[in-house]
Structure 1
Amino acid sequence: MNKRIVTRITIVSFIVGLMIAIQYNTIQKPTERDTRDIWEIRQELSEEKKRHSELLSEIGTLKSIVDEYENDDKDSQAQILKSTVHDLKVRAGIEAVSGPGVIMSIQPAMELVALGLEIEPISPDLLIRLVNEIYRYNGLYIEIDGQRLVHTSAIRDINGKTTINGFAIDESNVEIRVITESFEKAEKLYSYLYASTFHDDFYLDNLSLNINKALSNITIKEYDGKLSNTFLVENNKGE
């Protein structure tokens, strides 16, 4: 056989073998290895299913509103419009809302008070964690120390003080109000928070987290600030 042909076959075989080796190595050793166990994956799947269910429920609600607009007369449509606007204002936080929920409080630990030690402000990071868990477990509306949480609310440290919506919260006694969709969900939220490790987390910061049992009706006041609007522009021209 001609040496030139043998050389060509050798080069082609080497390239093919190298490509196969690279592909095999990529399959066997992915760039980022998924180290989650089966329970973590199941939990994530459960959360995604919950979000999917919430989206389907929201779509169903919007479809029913559209059907009402299409099928009712003008007077009924006006009433439906008022109801829709009120619901949107409640969701945005610019109107007070009442419903079933849970009231909790954060106070200095008794040992701290007995020893006469200086009271430290509540950590913004710890408060943010608590708020995220409340939203995760059926919390719809939240008020902290009289400050209604809305989509623009920020919990941060300013000059050594924990602030919400730019206002410093009390360092000695902070009340948190949470409203849920139903009393059953309020009870579930209470059970979760009561059994969680948040008691220990706050205690490490010399604070006591007190969680009261679910109530059938509590009130959260409206947001008293001005909501910023980035994408919507008011049309003043009219028709």
Structure 2
Amino acid sequence: MGKTIHWKFACILLIVGFMTAVQFNTVKSPKERDTRDIWAIRNELATEKQLHSELLSEIREFDKTISTYKTLSEEDTGKALAETVDKLFQQAGMTQAIGPGITIEVRPSPESVAFGTPITGISSDLLTHFVNELNRFKGIILEIDGKRFHTLSSIRDINGLTAVNGLHVATPPFSIKIISPTLSDSEKLYNYLLASTIHDDFYLDNLILDITKPTVDVEIRGWSEKFENHFLQELPKGE
């Protein structure tokens, strides 16, 4: 009887000990180790802090708009709403834009032309990577091969051809236009692109970037398509 109790007690201690060892090993040795150096972590932290700052700025802007509506009369509120709608149309890329910016010509590399290498279109991965590089600069307005690129735009591979907003991007050469908030911002973007390693990525695909100097009158047309409304409904007048 006593031996049986001791045996059961030993089994329980064995199970508890095994579970404790497994838990300790899981906590001590995670499956995926973070092998980044301190600078990589600092860069990610800086990116998150910048995102946090941008979100706070947007919240302050919305709070300011709400406060403005509360203090206005009914007639002035309608005017403020119309101005807000116009601003949203501009942010959505529905309206034409003219301002300081740069124009980039995507061309076949001279070597590919000299050797008669077949000219193919830009890949969706490369174009996406390039747009991500541009998005380091806030407040820019972008047009790719005559197609307005905005928050609802997409870059996809459709039947082996790169498309923006569902429309195929032309085989190079084609142009990319970028408008910045100020001429100084355009100059910063211009200098950044000149020194960027993105040129190497394009060159591997037998393409080059011909970047013009910033000007004050770059013109980008608005998005010609209409937004589809699936959820909002207009109430009858008087309600």
TM-score (structure 1 length as normaliser): 0.87
**Distance in 1 (alpha carbons) for counterparts of 2:84 and 2:110:** 47
Sort the Cα spacing of 1:213 and 1:53 in 2 relative to 1 into closer, same or farther, 3 A: farther
Shift of 1:47: 1.1
Change (3 A) 1:38 1:137: same
Amino acid at match of 1:225: E
Match of 2:50, as an amino acid?
A: K
Q: Which residue of 2 aligns with 1:237?
A: 236
CA displacement at 1:134 relative to structure 2: 1.1
Post-superposition offset of 1:159: 4.7
Q: CA RMSD in A?
A: 2.4
Show the counterpart of 2:155: 155
- In the TM superposition, 1:81-230 aligns within 5 A as 81-138=81-138, 140-230=140-230
Distance 1:50 1:216 in 2: 28
Query: Aligned in 2, Cα 1:2/1:59: closer, same or farther, shift over 3 Å?
Result: same
Q: 1:228 to 1:132 in 2, by over 3 A?
A: farther
Q: Structure 1: how far apart are the matches of 2:217 and 2:73?
A: 34
Quick one: distance in 2 between partners of 1:164 and 1:8? 69
Give identity over the alignment, percent: 42
**How far off is 1:210 after superposition?**
1.7
Shift of 1:143: 0.4
Shift of 1:217: 4.5
| Local SS of the residue matching 2:170 | coil
Q: Which runs of 5+ in 1 are unaligned?
A: none
Question: What is the rounded CA distance, in whole Å, between the counterparts of 2:184 and 2:9 in structure 1?
Answer: 74
Aligned partners of 2:122 and 2:172 also within 8 Å:
no
Tell which deviates more after alignment, 80-89 or 25-34: 25-34
Match of 2:59 in 1: 59
Q: Which amino acid aligns with 1:223?
A: W
Question: CA offset at residue 76 of structure 1?
Answer: 2.9
Q: Check 1:74–1:219 CA distance in 2 against 1; reply closer, same or farther (3 A cut).
A: farther
Deviation of 1:101 after TM superposition, in Å, equals: 2.9
For the 8 Å contact 2:144–2:175, the answer to whether it is kept is yes
Does residue 41 of structure 2 align to residue 22 of structure 1? no
Q: For 1:136, what is the secondary structure of its paired residue?
A: coil
Aligned residues: 238
Between stretches 137-146 and 153-162, larger displacement belongs to 153-162
CA deviation string 1:150-205 (max 9, x = no partner): 34433334455433223333323211112233444333322322221111111111
- Partner SS for 1:235: coil
Give the residue type in structure 2 aligned to 1:140. I
Q: Please tell me the residue identity of whatever aligns with 1:238.
A: K
Which segment drifts farther, 94-103 or 54-63? 94-103
Contact 1:138 1:185 in 2 (8 A): no
TM-score, length-scaled by structure 2: 0.87
- Give yes or no for contact 1:102–1:178 (8 Å, CA) kept in 2: yes
1:139 touches 1:178 (CA, 8 Å); kept in 2?
no
The corresponding residue for 1:34 is 34
Q: Which amino acid aligns with 1:144?
A: I
**Structure 2: runs of 5 or more not aligned:** none
Displacement of 1:80 in angstroms is 1.7
State the one-letter code of the partner of 2:232: V
Change (3 A) 1:165 1:8: closer
